[in-house]
Structure 1
Amino acid sequence: MPTISMFYGIVIYLYFFDNERHNLPHIHAKFQDYDASFSIEDGDLLSGNIPLNKQRLVQAWIEIHRESLMADWELAVNGLPPFKIEPLK
């Protein structure tokens, strides 16, 4: 589960070969005891929960970095390590 970014207490990561569970490009976000999955394509919350203010930060970050996230998704589902992505500032 490579960590690709961290900001405002949120850790963003991708799982290797994780295209079975949601069957679409997505990332995982962890904040304290919360864990959620978000679609890369539109930022929608797919599963889990996370405080609303943190959810909005993750969705803004996805919007900014969508192209890099799709490139990292392709690497991860093929078993290759994804690149780090700039945090939200």
Structure 2
Amino acid sequence: MPEISRFFGIRVEMFYDEHLPPHFHARYEGERAAFTLDGTLMEGEMTGQAYRLVREWAAIHPAELNENWNLAEQHLPLKRIPPLS
């Protein structure tokens, strides 16, 4: 499970051989959730500030997330995406 970013204790990952729609996973203090590339919660649970930060991060990096999804589909190395600062 390649980590593509980490910020404020939130770990963002994107997996190979995943199902559609294109998405990424985020973990924070025991919470786990999957988000579509536009930052919409798809499954799992992420609450409060962590949820808002993941959505903000996704809104800033749509092109990079899309590029990583395409790389994952081809089983190529994923690129790190800058964290929120």
**TM-score after normalising by structure 1:** 0.91
Structure 2 residue aligned with 1:51, among 22, 47, 54? 47
| Partner residue, 1:14 | 14
Structure 1 residue runs without a partner (length 5+)? none
Q: Whole-Å Cα distance in 2 between the matches of residues 77 and 59 of structure 1?
A: 23
**What are the residue-to-residue correspondences of 1:7-86 with 2, within 5 Å?**
7-18=7-18, 20=19, 23-40=20-37, 42-86=38-82
Secondary structure (helix, strand or coil) at the match of 1:70 reads helix
Structure 2 residue runs without a partner (length 5+)? none
Q: Whole-Å Cα distance in 1 between the matches of residues 42 and 48 of structure 2?
A: 14
Consecutive aligned runs of 4 or more in structure 1 exceeding 3 Å deviation: none
Please give the root-mean-square deviation of Cα atoms over the aligned residues, in Å: 0.8
Identity %: 38
Number of equivalent positions: 85
Q: Whole-Å Cα distance in 1 between the matches of residues 44 and 73 of structure 2?
A: 21
Amino acid of the residue matched to residue 29 of structure 1? A
How far apart are residue 75 of structure 1 and its match?
0.3
